[in-house]
Structure 1
Amino acid sequence: MLAFLWKGCGGKSSASSVKVGIRWDLRSGQLQGPYLQDGTSHETHNAVHALRLPIGSVWVADAGYYSLKELRQFSQQGIFFVIRPHGNLAVSTLSGQRLPLAAYLHQQTGNVIDLSIRLGSIPALWLPARLLALPVSPEVAEQRRAHLREKARKKGHVPSAQALALAGWNLIVTNIATSQLEAQEVLLLYRARWQVELLFKLWKSHGYVDQWTSTDPTHILCEFYAKLLAMLVQHWILLESCWDDPHRSWMLSADLLRDQVPLLLQGLRGRLPLDQVLALIHEALATNATIPARTTRPSTSHQLLDGVYWGLT
Structure 2
Amino acid sequence: MSWTGGSGKKASVKIQLEYNLSTGEFLNVHVGPGKNNDRQFLPYSRNSILPNDLCIRDLGYFKLTDLAFWHEQQAYFLTRIKANTTIFTLNLTVKNPSEQFSQVDLHAYLDTLSYGESAEIPEVYLGKKCLSPCRLVLYRLTPEQLEVRRKKQVKVSTSLKFDYSEKTIALSEFNLFITNVPCNKLPLHDISKLYSLRWQMELIFKTWKSYFNIHRTKTSKPQRFNCQLYG
Range of TM-score over shorter length? 0.7 to 0.9
Q: Is the 8 A contact 1:62 1:83 kept in 2?
A: yes
Query: d(CA) in 2 for partners of 1:170 and 1:206?
Result: 33
1:52-91 equivalence runs, <5 A: 52-91=48-87
User: Alignment partner for residue 28 of structure 1, among 23, 31, 56?
Assistant: 23
1:32 is displaced (CA, Å) by: 2.1
1:52 is displaced (CA, Å) by: 3.5
Query: d(CA) in 1 for partners of 2:220 and 2:113?
Result: 57
Give deviations 1:251-295, integer Å, cap 9, x for gaps.
xxxxxxxxxxxxxxxxxxxxxxxxxxxxxxxxxxxxxxxxxxxxx
- The residue number in structure 1 matching 2:98 is none
Q: Is the 8 A contact 2:87 2:125 kept in 1?
A: yes
1:220-299 equivalence runs, <5 A: 222=224, 224-230=225-231
Give SS of 1:162's match. helix
Query: d(CA) in 2 for partners of 1:174 and 1:220?
Result: 34
- The residue number in structure 2 matching 1:272 is none
- The residue number in structure 1 matching 2:96 is none
Give SS of 2:16's match. strand
Normalised by the length of structure 2, the TM-score is 0.80
- The residue number in structure 2 matching 1:41 is 36
Q: Is the 8 A contact 2:70 2:77 kept in 1?
A: yes
Q: Is the 8 A contact 2:117 2:140 kept in 1?
A: yes
Query: d(CA) in 2 for partners of 1:219 and 1:38?
Result: 8
Q: Is the 8 A contact 2:9 2:35 kept in 1?
A: no
Alpha carbons of structure 1 residues 186 and 139: separation in structure 2 relative to 1, 3 Å? closer
1:163 is displaced (CA, Å) by: 2.1
Give SS of 2:214's match. coil
1:17 is displaced (CA, Å) by: 1.1
1:58 is displaced (CA, Å) by: 0.1
- The residue number in structure 2 matching 1:175 is 180
> How many percent of aligned residue pairs carry the same amino acid?
25
Structure 2: runs of 5 or more not aligned: 92-100
**Does structure 1 residue 51 correspond to structure 2 residue 47?**
yes
Normalised by the length of structure 1, the TM-score is 0.61
- The residue number in structure 1 matching 2:124 is 118
Counterpart of 1:188 in structure 2: which amino acid?
K
Query: d(CA) in 1 for partners of 2:221 and 2:157?
Result: 38
CA RMSD of aligned residues (A): 2.9
Query: d(CA) in 1 for partners of 2:24 and 2:159?
Result: 39
- The residue number in structure 2 matching 1:138 is 143
Query: d(CA) in 2 for partners of 1:102 and 1:154?
Result: 28
Alpha carbons of structure 1 residues 72 and 105: separation in structure 2 relative to 1, 3 Å? farther
Structure of greater relative contact order (alpha carbons < 8 Å, 6+ residues apart): 2
Query: d(CA) in 2 for partners of 1:68 and 1:91?
Result: 12
Bigger CA radius of gyration: 1
Q: Is the 8 A contact 1:209 1:228 kept in 2?
A: yes
Give deviations 1:200-257, integer Å, cap 9, x for gaps.
1111111111224xx6x599975x4344114xxxxxxxxxxxxxxxxxxxxxxxxxxx
Segment drifting more, 103-112 vs 23-32: 103-112
Give SS of 1:196's match. helix
Alpha carbons of structure 1 residues 146 and 80: separation in structure 2 relative to 1, 3 Å? same
Q: Is the 8 A contact 1:131 1:174 kept in 2?
A: yes
Q: Is the 8 A contact 1:114 1:183 kept in 2?
A: yes
After TM superposition, which residue ranges in structure 1, 4 or more long, deviate above 4 angstroms? 152-157, 217-222
Aligned length: 216
Q: Could you say which structure has the higher strand fraction?
A: 2
Alpha carbons of structure 1 residues 75 and 162: separation in structure 2 relative to 1, 3 Å? farther
1:87 is displaced (CA, Å) by: 2.4
Structure 1: runs of 5 or more not aligned: 1-6, 231-313
